[in-house]
Amino acid sequence: MASHIFPRFVQLPSFSMSCKPSSITSGILVRASGAVVSVLSRALSSKPEGARRSHAFNFEELICSAVLNDKNAGESFLFQSPRSGENVLESVATSSTCNGEKGLWSVIIPTYNRLPILRKCLQALEEQEGYEHSGIEDYEVVVVDDGSTDGTLEFLQPILNSVEVFREKPMMKRSQGNEANNVLNENLSSSPIPGHTCDGTSVQSSRVFPHVKIIRQHHGGATRARNLGVRTARGAIIVFIDSDLVVTKDFLREHGAALAEAQAEHGDDNTFTYGRVVNTANFENPKSEKFKLTDNSAAFFATGNVALSRKLLLKAGNLLASAHDGPFDADFSEYGWEDLELGVRLKQVGARIKHVPLAVGYHWHPAFSMDQIPKLVDQERQRGRNGVRFFLKHPSLDVRLMTQLTLFHEGIWFLLTLGGLLTEKNLRPILGMLVAVGRPGLAAGLLSPTLNWHTVQASKEEMKRLKQQGKFVKRKP
């Protein structure tokens, strides 16, 4: 919880951090403040998490995210949704097809314009050791290229080997207005050009990275990419990481051992494992970075380093209140919150978290530079707008605090930016000087309040816009 009370103060050190005394002091103060607010929020909550009722949703509008492998025909196709009138949750819970292939793990990685670090990410996943001893028979790495323009496709094409053809069985009609979210849509023919679907999506595997399956789609964002990855994946266990994460050789083994231990302890699949993420700016040797206090995360669920059963993921997806193409809510078309929103639904279906500190991933970000400022500002404004969507879907005090939709947050950033006068433009000379003398981390910290000010201002603008359109309607908890 604390990591979302002051999100930019916690996240900005990922640009370039060393464990300096000032960093430690700042981290302690932030987390102490967050802990106090978290306790207050739980005390004021009107209902416990488990008491929240799920939203009505017709699962016939949600693709059963399993891919069946027809070895005789040499084709893959999407599994058809349950028929209308069936007990959907029971169908999902009892279908071995929907639950994936036992013993197979699927690592899903969306990527967009991250070719240099993607190479290291994929190489690290090919070097996994000892996973067979933790109940993992085999694993696949599903890379969803979200329309990259940095040469990712050119890098992947020479290493492509066999081609898998997608053929979608007849599906239910989509609701009007949601066509943009449909990756494999009604226009798919039963016999597409080998390696391609009619909307430009294709799936191919790699001979250089034998575990890798490559999916290409038109640029549509991380939410859409992850949903496509889930629908393509064949494993009973789904692992989410980002394409800028370089994992250790025992990454899968540690996740597997922890999940097996939880299964033996609780007798169900309701536990997901959460690995450790170490932020680094060291591109040449990201694994040399030491764990820092600021690398701690209080988030219940995030897609940076988690493993969970497909069964549990689909149960959470079944709580979506409208038609979507996977477990992630496609209403989050902009940057931020889509994974934490899924975490709220996972809590609602009884998911429990198990931390796995030995399943380590090194999250690389380049050190802060001046040319990053426009993108950072844009991301924070997107985060603010998405935060409003998050709150309208889950109008709880916890979510309000996470998304900074409080007078407290607005007041803090108002004071620290001198009423909004400390803009990125006004700070540019100081920031440039700090970067020039080799203090990018300090420059990023100085910019942090301004970025938070953009977040809360974008949230206010979005709420005003929705109210004017009569769309600012909170969903009942």
Q: Are residues 326 and 387 in the same domain?
A: no
Give domain status of residue 475, yes or no. no
pTM of this structure: 0.74
Count of structural domains, the chain: 2
DSSP string over 298-314: --S--TTEEEEEHHHHH
Q: What is the pLDDT of residues 374-384, one digit of tens each?
A: 999 999 999 99
Give domain status of residue 124, yes or no. yes
Q: Are residues 346 and 445 in the same domain?
A: no
Q: Are residues 70 and 145 in the same domain?
A: yes
Q: Are residues 318 and 379 in the same domain?
A: no
Q: Are residues 233 and 376 in the same domain?
A: no
Q: What is the pLDDT of residues 295-326, one digit of tens each?
A: 988 889 999 999 999 999 999 999 987 667 88
221: left (phi over 0), alpha (psi -120 to 50) or beta: left
Q: For residue 189, is pLDDT > 60?
A: no
Q: Are residues 384 and 323 in the same domain?
A: no
Instruction: Determine contact, residues 307/255, Cβ cutoff 8 Å.
Output: yes
Which structural domain, as residue segments, surrounds residue 168? 59-255+303-351
Confidence at residue 69, expressed as pLDDT on a 0 to 100 scale: 33
* Calpha distance 438→443 (Å, rounded): 10
DSSP string over 397-425: HHHHHHTT-SHHHHHHHHHHTTTTTS-HH
Give domain status of residue 180, yes or no. yes
Tokens found for residue 267: 């007798």
* Calpha distance 472→387 (Å, rounded): 13
CATH number at residue 74: 3.90.550.10
Q: Are residues 109 and 179 in the same domain?
A: yes
Confidence at residue 322, expressed as pLDDT on a 0 to 100 scale: 66
Among the candidates 288, 319, 351, a domain finishes at 351
Give domain status of residue 411, yes or no. yes
Q: Are residues 186 and 222 in the same domain?
A: yes
Q: For residue 112, is pLDDT > 90?
A: yes
- Average pLDDT estimate for 238-259: 97
Confidence at residue 208, expressed as pLDDT on a 0 to 100 scale: 75
Across 37-51, 180-194, 198-212, 330-344, the highest mean pLDDT is recorded for: 330-344
Closest to 238 (Cα-Cα) out of 338, 362, 144, 139: 139
Q: For residue 252, is pLDDT > 80?
A: yes
Q: Are residues 78 and 150 in the same domain?
A: yes
Q: Report residue 419 CA to chain centroid gap.
A: 33
Q: What is the pLDDT of residues 414-473, one digit of tens each?
A: 999 999 999 999 999 999 999 999 999 999 999 999 999 999 999 999 999 998 888 777
Q: For residue 344, is pLDDT > 70?
A: yes
Pairing of strands 101-111, 138-145: parallel
Q: For residue 356, is pLDDT > 60?
A: yes
Give domain status of residue 274, yes or no. no
Confidence of residue 85 (pLDDT cuts 50, 70, 90): very low
* Calpha distance 291→280 (Å, rounded): 9
